[in-house]
Structure 1
Amino acid sequence: MSRDRNWMYMKRTTSEGLFDPTFQHHVNFFLDYAYANAPNIQRELIDGVDVSKIRCPCGKCQIPRFKKRFEVVGDLFKKGFMDNYKAQVMRTRMVDLEARVQEERNLLVSRLEEERDLLATRLDDERKAREELQKQLQEFMKNWRSPSN
């Protein structure tokens, strides 16, 4: 995907009021790339069909909303791209990354707590078994020292 994003802010219609074919071409290429490479695509099963959604970069939605391709196309032609798209994408990716890191952290903490609880249970079981063995040994020693008649 080209790093030149000037086309995002070009006029979307021709002097005749038709959609500019250059803009159309870039939007289609952009969406092909976005749907193939977006890090946080939402998938939805609609009537048995897997439908992908990406965050809408139009001037109104400005990233938070997930939409189907035809919805994103319509928004981009009607409202154009949001200002500072690249900066906003970076902020969104950072927020998503932070959320994933927090999720991973929570998962690790949960696993560590489970492991800790399991070890505590094992230690408690071993302590009880050791106490029982000590009782049995004391009983044995008591009976061994004073033999019964």
Structure 2
Amino acid sequence: MADFTIRPAGVGDGSFLADMVVEAANWHGTSTRPRPAVLSDPVYRNYIAGWPRPADRGFVADDPQQRPVGAAWYRLLAADVPAHGFVAAGVPELIIGVTPVWRAQGVGRALLQALTDAAHAAGFSRIALSVEHGNHAESLYRSEGFAVVASRGGRDTMVRRLG
């Protein structure tokens, strides 16, 4: 496993979370959506606007020089708010992104585990996420207990029961 640390995401991490939304949107690397286009999309914008809100929780992975290389966080969204992985009110939606050079080095798994532990400690019984078809991260999510509950528009919504 690569040398990195995990820390809670704070107020000053909003810009980096936006970077990770862009990474998540461009996971395939074949054709990239420019940052302004991703961040102006209402769904992606809902994942970071006003970070942090009171119920938001997140973690950032830092490299040995304390530069952020990945992040995972969750938000509670209402049914009428555009989102890719909305399941129900009161079920947080997880967002995760890792810079390309740090992928497949345990960063995503460590972030995912820290975040699901935090969601469980906060009293949530489930957590949801959305993954595009073909994204290799789906195997990570399955290995961490997530299961597909819906599929539409080239995306799977996955849920993990906590506890």
TM-score range, shorter chain: under 0.3
Q: Which has the higher strand share?
A: 2
TM-score, scaled relative to structure 1: 0.25
